[in-house]
């Protein structure tokens, strides 16, 4: 058990969550586990994600060292994003959060065992989890 006197007001879990707790951060990071993405590619399948919110989220992830931005010398100019090694290290964390959610899910969407197992396998493959 963690002794409060050793941690004081610092909580490593809270600190870690500040990296990914902003709206859309997890979805954006998850998308990059499939490879590099351009700005417009993040919006695919996310009709509620505005350009402004996406820009802010990408900037936050970049400032926290989880992603890197590369300007492509194309016409028109395009921007590409990819995970840093620090960002890639979140794969196990995201996988475990997904498993926790699936095991404790009451939603109709994930109530069937086959659906839960398929989602778990999809996450495992996407996040390159080996066990």
Where exactly are the structural domains of the chain?
A: 12-84, 90-131
- Rounded CA separation 35/33 (Å): 5
Which range scores top for mean pLDDT: 14-18, 40-44, 99-103, 112-116? 40-44
Q: What phi and psi, each to the nearest 5 degrees, are found at residue 73?
A: -80, 70
Check if the beta carbon of residue 92 is closer than 8 Å to that of residue 129.
yes
- Token representation of residue 103: 């095991």
Q: Side by side, which strands form the sheet with 37-38?
A: 37-38, 78-83, 67-72
pTM of the model: 0.74
Check if the beta carbon of residue 80 is closer than 8 Å to that of residue 72.
yes
pLDDT higher at 101 or 58: 58
Q: In which region does residue 39 sit, left (phi positive, over 0), alpha (psi from -120 to 50) or beta (all else)? A: alpha
Task: Give the mean pLDDT of 30-50.
Answer: 90
DSSP 28-77: HHHHHTTS-EEHHHHHTT-TT--HHHHHHHHHHHHHTTSEEEEEE--SS-
Per-residue pLDDT reduced to its tens digit, 90-100: 888 888 887 78
Binned at pLDDT 50, 70 and 90, residue 69 comes out as very high
Topology of 12-84 in CATH? Arc Repressor Mutant, subunit A (1.10.10)
Binned at pLDDT 50, 70 and 90, residue 1 comes out as very low
């Amino acid at each position: 058990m963690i002794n409060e006197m050793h941690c004081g007001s610092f909580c490593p879990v809270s600190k870690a969550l500040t990296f990914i707790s902003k709206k859309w951060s997890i979805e954006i990071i998850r998308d990059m586990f499939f490879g590099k993405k351009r700005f417009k590619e993040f919006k695919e399948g996310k009709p509620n994600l505005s350009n402004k919110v996406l820009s802010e989220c990408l900037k936050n992830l970049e400032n926290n060292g989880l992603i890197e931005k590369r300007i492509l010398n194309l016409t028109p100019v395009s921007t590409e994003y990819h995970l840093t090694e620090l960002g890639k290290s979140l794969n196990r964390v995201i996988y475990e959060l997904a498993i926790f959610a699936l095991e404790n899910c009451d939603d109709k969407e994930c109530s069937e065992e086959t659906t839960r197992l398929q989602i778990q396998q999809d996450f495992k493959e996407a996040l390159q989890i080996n066990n």
